[in-house]
Amino acid sequence: MDIIDMARASGLTIILDGRIGHEEYRSVCGSVSALERFAETLQQCATNQYCGAAHRSSGDTSFIRAR
């Protein structure tokens, strides 16, 4: 699973998906709890080689940039 799929599965939303030259840009928004789920998923991938994410929905907005 790639990082964008992990973000979506955690409840974050991709609101911008574009390319300028060779560089790809994506903006991600979602609730703080969705961001926490995303961070937990990344931590699990790093420690247990588990790269799945729980499917949950999100509410208010916080912004992060994922590449």
- pLDDT at site 16: 86
pLDDT band at 67 (very low <50, low <70, confident <90, very high): very low
CA distances from 62 to 10, 27, 46, 52, 65 (A): 13, 11, 24, 22, 10
pLDDT one-digit tens code per residue, 2-58: 899 999 999 999 998 899 999 999 999 999 999 999 999 999 888 886 564 443 334
Residue 66 has pLDDT above 90, yes or no: no
Task: Please tell me the predicted confidence (pLDDT) of residue 1.
Answer: 65
User: At residue 39, what is the residue type?
Assistant: A
- Supply the pTM of this predicted model: 0.62
Residue ranges of alpha helices (H) inside the chain are 3-9, 32-48
